[in-house]
Structure 1
Amino acid sequence: MPEPETGKPDAPAQPAHPHTATLKRLEQSSGSLAAQAIARMDETLPWYRAMPPENRSWIGLVAQAGIAAFTEWFRRPDAPQAISTDVFGTAPRELTRAITLRQTVEMVRTTIEVMESAIDEVAAPGDESVLREALLVYAREIAFATAQVYAQAAEARGAWDARLESLVVNAVLSGEADEGAVSRAAALGWNSPEHVCVVLGTAPDGDSELTVEAIRRAARHAKLQVLTGVLGDRLVVIAGGRNDPLAVAKSLIGPFAPGPVVAGPVVPDLLAATRSAQAAAAGLKACTAWQDAPRPVLADDLLPERAIASDPSAREQLVEEIYRPLEEAGAALLETLSVYLEQASSLEGAARMLFVHPNTVRYRLRRVTDVTGWSPSDVRSAFTLRIALILGRLADGDPQI
C-alpha cells in the first residue's frame, strides 16, 4: 500500500560546504589554537601576566570564543551573526573595567596573529588563500565588534555617572548632603579639594548634556574640579580648588544662559557646600532687586537684597558681621555712621549734628571701614551698612529677629 501523504514537504538538504576539509581541520584545531594564543599572550603581554587568575581565565574564554566564532563564521559567512555577542558575551561586564581598550586590541591582535601563522597547517591543500582572506575579513569584523563593546560600556558608565552626579548636586542644593553624597562624589573622581563654592545661574535651552560638557571643558581649562548638573531651569556648578569664588564664577560663566550668575561663599568641603548653595540660591532670587548687579556677582554682595527678601541667613550675617562689631567697637562709631548716612553722606552735616570736627567724622568712618570691611563713602556699601544698622536695632528690640 502507498504511504499516506503527510502534507509536509521534505526539508531542503543543506548544500555542502565548498571547503569541507578546511572547515573540519579548523574545527579540530580550535582548542590548540586557543592554547597557543593564550601562551603567546603570556609570553608577549606583560599586563596579561600581571593580572589576577580570574581575569586571565576570562581572557582565555574570550580567545576561545573568538576562534570558535571564526569557525562558525567560516562555515556560514553570509548568515547574520552578532560577533560581539558570540565573542565577548562569555566575559562579565566588569571585564571592560579591568581591561582597557588598548589591552583588548592587543589581545585580539595576538589571537589573530596565532591563527594567521597556522593557516598553512590548518587549511587543506589549495585553500590557504581562501582561509587567509576569510581571516582578514573576520579580523575587520572583530575590530568593529571590539569598538562596539567598549562604546556600549562607555555609554552605560556615562549614564550611570550622570545619574550619580545629579544625585550629588541635588543633595547639595536641597541641603541633604551627607557621607553618602561624599562617597558618590568620590566615585566620580572628586578628590575633596580644600576650597569649595557653588555657582548658580540659568541653564541655556537645548541639550543639557552639551551644557554639562561645556562646563567640564571650562573647568579643565581653569584647573578646577566640578560637579555639575541642570536642575529644572537652573545650571548648578559645585567647584573646588580655588579660594576665590568670583574668579571661579568668571572662569565657568561661558555655558550659562544670559541673566544673573551668583557665586556662593567658599566653604571647606562638600558637606558644607550646602551653605554656599543656599546663599547662591537666595542671591539668584534676590538679584532682580539690584538691576546693575555685575555678572557674575557674589552672594555676599547681595546681602541687603537677600535680607529684604526674608533670607534669615543674610539677616544674621549682616547683624553678626557688621552691626555687632560696630557695637563692640564703641557707641561713637554706631552713632557717627548712623548720622552720616542720615545726612546724605555729608561729612560737614554729620559733624554739625554730632558737634565734632569733620576730621573726627572722617576718622570714625575710616574705623567703620576697618571694622566691617564696608566703606560708608561708597554708595553700594552705604546701602549695605544702612540695612545692617536697621536689622541690628530690630534684633536688639526683638531677639527673635
Structure 2
Amino acid sequence: MSIPQAPDEGAVRAETALRLERSMGTLGTAAVTRMESSLSWFRAMSAEDRSWVGLVAQSGVAAFVEWFKNPDRGRPAITVEVFGTAPRELTRSVTLQQTVEMIRVVIDVVENQVEELAAPGGVQQLREAVLRYTREVAFSSAKVYARAAEARGSWDARLEALIVDALLHGDREEGLPTWGSALSWSGTPVIALAGTLPDPGEQGVLDDVRARARRAGHDVLAGVQGERVVVVIGVGGASAASDDPLAAAAPLAGLLGPGPVVVGPAVADLRGAGDSVRAAVNGLRAATAWPDAPRPVLAEDLLPERALDGDADARARLVEDVYRPLRGSGSPLLDTLTVYLEHASSLEATARMLFVHPNTVRYRLSRVAELTGFAPSDGRGAFVLRVAVTLGRLGERDPGMVE
C-alpha cells in the first residue's frame, strides 16, 4: 500500500501564481466595479481621479502577484510598486480613510475568489499571503499619507514665511491674495502681532501659535525673522477682534518669548496686512522705550516711541491726529497746553502765566482731551501730546520731516 505524498509547496505556489497572473485583469476590473457600487465617494470623483484609483487597484493586484511568485524577496515594495503609479495630487483627492476602504474592497474581491484562484492544496497558503499583503498595504498607505502631510506642512510653512516677509517689506502685489488662497485664507479683518522666540533658535512655538489660533476659528500665518516672531491673523467668526485687535492677540501672547508683544491695527484684508505688520514690528523695536507697556500692547499706543525711533508713519499719525486738530482749534488751546506741560502740569502756574482763571485752564485742557483722545493731566497722555506738538512744530519748519 503506497503512502500519499504531501504536495510540493513550491510547485503549489507556482501553480497558484500562474492562476493569479491569468486572473489579474479580471480581479482589477472586479475591484473597480465593486468600488463603484459600494463607495459613494468613488462615484462622486472626477473621471480622471477614478481612473487613477483604478490604476492603483490594478497595480496593487499586479504587485501582489509578483510578490507571491517570489517569496524570497522579503517585504513587498508597496510604496513604489502600488502608490508610485499615481500622482501626488491624488492624496488630496482621496483621504487616508478612503484609501483604507479602497484596500478593503480590493482584498475582499481577492479573498472571495481564493478557492478558485489557489492551486489544489494551496488555499491556506494563498489566504495567509493575502492577509500579510493586506497588512503591508495598510502600513504603506499610512506612510504615503504621512509623507504627503509632512511635505504639505513644510510647503505651507515656507509659503507662510514668504508672505510674512513680503508684507513686512511692503509687497502689495496681487500675488498676496493668491498665496493666501493656497493656504485656504478667508478670515477678515486682519491683524498682526510681533514678539520674540521663547528660546533662541526654537521655532516650535509657531506650531503652538497656529494650533491655538485655529482652535479659536482664525486663519493664521506665522514666520520667524531672526529672534523675532511675526504672526498675521485673519479673524474668523463673530469675534470681538474686529473692534478690539487685542481680543484675538491676547491668547497668543503667552506663547511668545519674554518682552513686549505688539499688535498692529486691524485692516480689511490680506492685501492691506502690510500696514499692520510694519506697525507691529516697528512697535516691537521701539517698545523698549516704554518698560511699563502692557503685554500685549497696541502699536498705536506706541506712537511716540515709534516716532522717536524714526517711524515715519507714526510721526505722520501724531501730527495728523493730535497736532493739527489742536492747531486748527485756535491758539488758546495749543498755548495753554504748551504752558501747562512746561510748568509741571500745574493749573495754578499755567493760569498765572496766561493771566486767566484756573477754571479756564481746566476747561481748555478738557477740550484738548476731547480733540486728541489724550488727557494732559495723565502722565502717558502728557508724553504723547508733548511729542506730537514737538513734531508738529518741526514739521511746520520742515514739511518733509513728517510726510
Q: Deviations over 1:99-143 (max 9, x none)?
A: 111211111110000000001111122221111111111100010
**Residue in structure 2 matching 1:170, options 120, 142, 165:** 165
Determine the structure 2 residue equivalent to 1:23. Answer: 17
**Residue in structure 2 matching 1:229, options 219, 223, 231:** 223
1:72 aligns with 2:66: yes
- Cα deviation, residue 51, structure 1: 1.8
- Cα deviation, residue 63, structure 1: 0.9
Determine the structure 2 residue equivalent to 1:123. Answer: 118
Counterpart residue identity of residue 166, structure 2: A
Determine the structure 2 residue equivalent to 1:303. Answer: 303
- Return the alpha-carbon distance in structure 2 between the equivalents of residues 266 and 41 of structure 1: 50
- Cα deviation, residue 255, structure 1: 2.0
Counterpart residue identity of residue 130, structure 1: Q
1:61 aligns with 2:61: no
- Written as runs of structure 1 = structure 2, the 5 A alignment for 1:289-328 is 289-328=289-328
Determine the structure 1 residue equivalent to 2:102. Answer: 107
- Return the alpha-carbon distance in structure 1 between the equivalents of residues 11 and 179 of structure 2: 56
Cα distance change on mapping 1:16 and 1:123 into 2, 3 Å:
closer
1:271 partner SS: helix
- Cα deviation, residue 224, structure 1: 2.2
Determine the structure 1 residue equivalent to 2:190. Answer: 196
Cα distance change on mapping 1:27 and 1:19 into 2, 3 Å:
same
- Return the alpha-carbon distance in structure 2 between the equivalents of residues 234 and 271 of structure 1: 22
Determine the structure 2 residue equivalent to 1:341. Answer: 341
Determine the structure 1 residue equivalent to 2:213. Answer: 219
Segments of 5+ residues of structure 2 without an aligned counterpart are 1-8, 236-240
Higher deviation after alignment, 158-167 or 17-26: 17-26
Q: Is the 8 A contact 1:326 1:334 kept in 2?
A: yes
- RMSD over equivalenced CA pairs, Å: 1.7
1:145 aligns with 2:140: yes
- Cα deviation, residue 209, structure 1: 4.8
- Cα deviation, residue 163, structure 1: 1.4
- Return the alpha-carbon distance in structure 2 between the equivalents of residues 119 and 65 of structure 1: 19
Cα distance change on mapping 1:353 and 1:17 into 2, 3 Å:
farther
2:72 partner SS: coil
- Return the alpha-carbon distance in structure 2 between the equivalents of residues 206 and 85 of structure 1: 40
Determine the structure 2 residue equivalent to 1:284. Answer: 284
Q: Is the 8 A contact 1:17 1:75 kept in 2?
A: no
1:228 partner SS: strand
Q: Would you say how many aligned residue pairs link Structure 1 and Structure 2? A: 386
Q: Is the 8 A contact 2:206 2:223 kept in 1?
A: yes
1:47 aligns with 2:2: no
Q: Is the 8 A contact 1:222 1:251 kept in 2?
A: no
Cα distance change on mapping 1:45 and 1:223 into 2, 3 Å:
closer
Q: Deviations over 1:126-161 (max 9, x none)?
A: 221111111111100010111111111111211211
Counterpart residue identity of residue 61, structure 1: L
Q: Is the 8 A contact 1:198 1:237 kept in 2?
A: yes
Determine the structure 1 residue equivalent to 2:155. Answer: 160
Segments of 5+ residues of structure 1 without an aligned counterpart are 1-14
Counterpart residue identity of residue 97, structure 1: R
Determine the structure 1 residue equivalent to 2:127. Answer: 132
Cα distance change on mapping 1:202 and 1:255 into 2, 3 Å:
same
- Return the alpha-carbon distance in structure 1 between the equivalents of residues 153 and 40 of structure 2: 29
1:64 partner SS: helix
Q: Deviations over 1:280-320 (max 9, x none)?
A: 22211211222222222221111112222222211111111
